[in-house]
Structures are given as C-alpha cells and as structure tokens.
C-alpha cells in the first residue's frame, strides 16, 4: 500500500519536474542572447582621417596622437582646436571618437552631435552617434542610424553600410520588429557570407514566437559557419520550445563536442535527455556538468531528482543531504529527501524529515501524505491519521488517502471510522487498486455489525 501511494505522488511530481527542466533550458540559453545582440554592432567604426584638401596642423597633430592611441594628448589638442573653430565637423568627430575610447560616453555623444550639426552628410559621424545613442538607450539612435544607411562611407563602403543596417536592425528589434527584420535582410545582402544578420534575425523571430522562421535563420547561419555555437544554441531553444527533444539532443551533443569543458552545455544536454526519458545518459551529462560547476545548486537538485527516477536512491539521498547541509530551510529539498528515505524503507528517518518539512511549510499538502505513509509503517497510527486529515484540508482526497486512513483506524480498533473510510475508498477506487479493494471488503465483513 505504501508503495502505491508514494509512487502515485512521485509520478505527478516527475512530470512537473520535466516541465521545469524544459523551461530552464530555454531560460538559460535565452540569457545568452543579449551578449550576441549587443556585441555585434555596438562598437564605433575605427577612426580614420576624413579627407580634406588641407588639414590644420593642430588637427593633423591630434590625429597622429589618435593613431598612437595617445588619447589624453589628442583630447587636449582637440578641445583647444574646437574652442577656436567650433564649426569644424572633423575635429568634433575626432573628439567624439577619443572621448568614447576614454570611456566618457556623454562627452562622446555631445561631440558627435556637434559633428553632425556642423556637417549632416558624413556617414561615420551619423553611424557613431547612432551607435553611442543606442548603447546608452537614447531614443533618437534610430534617426542617425537611418541617416547612415543613406550615406556613403568614406572608406570600405560595403563594410560601413553593413554595420549601419545591422545596427539599425538591432535598435528597431524591440519596437519595430518587422522593420528590424527588413534591415537584417539589407545587412545580409551586403555580406552574404556573414552569419551575424541571420543569427540576430533568428533571435528576434524566436522572441516573437515565430519559431519556424527562427529555425530557418539559425540554419542559414550554420550553413555559413558550421561551428557557430550561437546558432546551435538558437536551434536548441527552438527545438525545446517545440518539444522536439530528439532534435535538441542532437544539437546539444554537437555543442558538447565543441565545448567539452563548458559546464552549461553538459547541463543543458542532461536536461534535454531527461525530458526525453534517457535517464542514464542524462545522469552522465549532469554529473559532468556538476563536476565542472560544483557550486550549481540547481544542477545538484536536477541530478538528485533524476537519481530518484533511475531508482538510485542512495546517491539521491547523498545529494539531498548535501543540499540541506547548505540550506537547511529548503523545505522542497527536505520533502524530496523524505520521499527518498521512504523509497529506501528508512521509515523512522523519513518520518523525522517529513515532520520537519510540514513544520517549515505547513501549507505543503503533498508532504502530509508522505508523512502519513511513513507514520503508518512506523505503527504511529495517530500521527498517520492527523497527517491525512491535515492533507485533506489542503488538497483533495484520493483513494489512497481513504485506504490509509481506514487501515490506521482499523489498527486502533476505531472500527466505525475505519468502516467509513473503507466505504469511501471503495466508492472511488474504481477497480484500480484490486488488492486493496479485496482487503477493504474483507475488513468490512469483519468489523461492521451484522444486520
């Protein structure tokens, strides 16, 4: 009887656990998007001299300092120069570049604005201003990046236009996704062998739940760069969200082969394998991940739970106890430990852990059912009845709870209450518990008054 009740509870928690795993895979991988999204175009274009018929000597000297990365000297020279010639767009452009290199974002933006105001049709000034505004989250970034897409770079025109379109797309991604996708297309047409527009487009489509289109973009990125871990991560996200676990498994296996020392990749593969029901393989990957990241508490919990699925209860117990030693107030882990002890028939220890669980979390209905099972095995029938009654106040009765309560009353020779619960059990058992139904009928014959 005990095993029937515990397993029924465990199966429900197992399904919940696998759902939690699938969500975790998406969240962990999606967290990596921001890095790719921001890194791809956030850097201003490299400084180069803007073509002029004759540059003033002071400006030439400042640009020589920039070439040597002597930004302090360059800043001093440029500040002096623009104070005497405030309409010189080239000097303001150089100063914007220098301030950015020195980590002074607001001063850089102010200088680039002055450069654009002095001469509005310079590609580099518009692009760099747009990038700096985007980097600091200012709303007019779009204006200057759009302007840059319509202007001709003074050097490397294809590269410059590519960066302008890609940057504009990323600025538009949240507010104007369709326009952003169109801008990604423009960028990909300028550099057909670059996977980055496809990766960024895939991420945008994924965030908007357009999974089939996102999958196509990620595959295009992989066709251009077969070793792209970002594209593989994107595909894994798409497959997990579509519950296409076998395909996610294949993709993550490739990532593990590429990054064998990356704990996260082992962990996510382990979680996918668990969702597929490939328990032994899941354990192997989670063990590898935990070895590389020994302080990851969530992986400890996942691995312990999967040990339970594999009936490797002693290993699960060790992990649960390790987690409780670090966080003794974690009632969920304590409940899992109590259940694991039950499965090992360590009933006194299980009862102690489950009593501690309900003291920590009195509203945890499932724990009372397990406590009742442990108390029943320990012949503590009064505690079993109290636990079952507490459970009934929190969650609906099930056939097992009626039967367990009936047998507890029966052992206490409270035959009236025992008979009531045997009858309730038989009313809802519906032939699913043949052994217990047979026992209930025969006990009713023995304990009910003869008419």
pLDDT the model gives residue 33 = 37
For the chain, the average pLDDT equals 88
Is residue 13 scored above 50 in pLDDT? no
Kindly compute the dihedral angle of the four CA atoms of residues 426, 430, 431, 436, in this order, to the nearest 10 degrees.
Answer: -30
How many Å apart are CA 437 and CA 443, to the nearest integer?
10
Is residue 306 scored above 60 in pLDDT? yes
pLDDT in tens, 320-373: 999 999 999 999 999 999 999 999 999 999 999 999 999 999 999 999 999 999
How many Å apart are CA 1 and CA 341, to the nearest integer?
16
Q: How many CA atoms lie within 13 A of 425 on its CB side?
A: 27
pLDDT the model gives residue 42 = 57
Residue 102 CA to its chain's centroid (Å): 35
Burial of 79 (0-12, 13-18, 19+ CB in 10 A): middle
pLDDT the model gives residue 263 = 92
- Find the DSSP H helices in 293-412: 297-309, 313-326, 331-343, 347-360, 365-377, 381-394, 399-411
Q: What is the mean pLDDT of residues 116-137?
A: 95
pLDDT the model gives residue 450 = 76
DSSP three-state, residue 154: coil
pLDDT in tens, 370-391: 999 999 999 999 999 999 999 9
Kindly compute the dihedral angle of the four CA atoms of residues 393, 394, 400, 401, in this order, to the nearest 10 degrees.
Answer: -30
DSSP three-state, residue 48: coil
Instruction: Specify whether the CB–CB gap between 217 and 198 falls below 8 A.
Output: yes
């Amino acid at each position: 009887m005990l095993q029937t009740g515990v397993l029924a509870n465990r199966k429900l928690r197992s399904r919940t656990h696998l759902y939690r795993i699938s969500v975790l895979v998406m969240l962990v991988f999606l967290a990596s998007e921001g890095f790719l999204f921001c890194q791809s175009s956030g850097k201003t274009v490299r400084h180069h001299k803007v073509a002029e018929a004759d540059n003033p000597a002071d400006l030439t000297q400042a640009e020589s300092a920039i070439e040597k990365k002597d930004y302090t000297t360059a800043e001093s020279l440029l500040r002096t120069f623009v104070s005497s010639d405030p309409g010189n767009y080239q000097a303001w452009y150089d100063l914007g570049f220098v301030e950015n290199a020195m980590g002074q974002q607001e001063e850089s933006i102010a200088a680039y604005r002055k450069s654009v105001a002095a001469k509005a049709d310079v590609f580099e000034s518009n692009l760099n201003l747009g990038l700096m505004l985007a980097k600091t989250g200012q709303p007019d970034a779009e204006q200057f990046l759009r302007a840059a897409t319509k202007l001709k770079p003074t050097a490397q025109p294809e590269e410059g236009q590519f960066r302008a379109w890609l940057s504009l797309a990323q600025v538009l991604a949240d507010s104007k996704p369709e326009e952003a996708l169109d801008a990604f297309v423009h960028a990909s047409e300028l550099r057909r062998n670059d996977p980055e527009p496809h990766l960024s487009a895939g991420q945008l489509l994924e965030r908007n739940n357009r999974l089939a289109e996102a999958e196509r973009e990620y595959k295009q990125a992989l066709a251009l760069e077969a070793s792209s871990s970002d594209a593989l991560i994107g595909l894994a996200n798409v497959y997990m969200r579509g519950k296409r676990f076998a395909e996610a498994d294949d993709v993550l296996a490739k990532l593990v082969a590429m990054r064998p020392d990356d704990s996260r990749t082992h962990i996510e593969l382990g979680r996918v394998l668990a969702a597929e029901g490939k328990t032994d393989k899941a354990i192997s990957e989670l063990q590898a991940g935990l070895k590389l990241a020994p302080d990851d508490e969530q992986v400890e919990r996942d691995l312990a739970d999967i040990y339970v699925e594999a009936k490797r209860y002693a290993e699960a117990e060790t992990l649960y106890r390790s987690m409780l030693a670090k966080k003794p107030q974690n009632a969920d882990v304590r409940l899992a430990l109590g259940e694991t002890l039950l499965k090992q028939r360590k009933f006194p220890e299980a009862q102690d852990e489950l009593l501690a669980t309900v003291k920590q979390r009195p509203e945890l209905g499932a724990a009372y059912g397990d406590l009742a099972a442990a108390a029943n095995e320990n012949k503590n029938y009064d505690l079993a009845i109290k636990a079952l009654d507490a459970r009934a106040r929190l969650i609906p009765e099930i056939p097992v709870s009626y039967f367990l309560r009936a047998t507890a009353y029966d052992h206490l020779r409270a035959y009236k209450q025992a008979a009531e619960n045997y009858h309730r059990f038989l009313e809802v058992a519906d032939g699913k518990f043949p052994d217990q139904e047979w026992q209930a009928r025969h006990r009713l014959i023995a304990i009910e008054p003869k008419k």
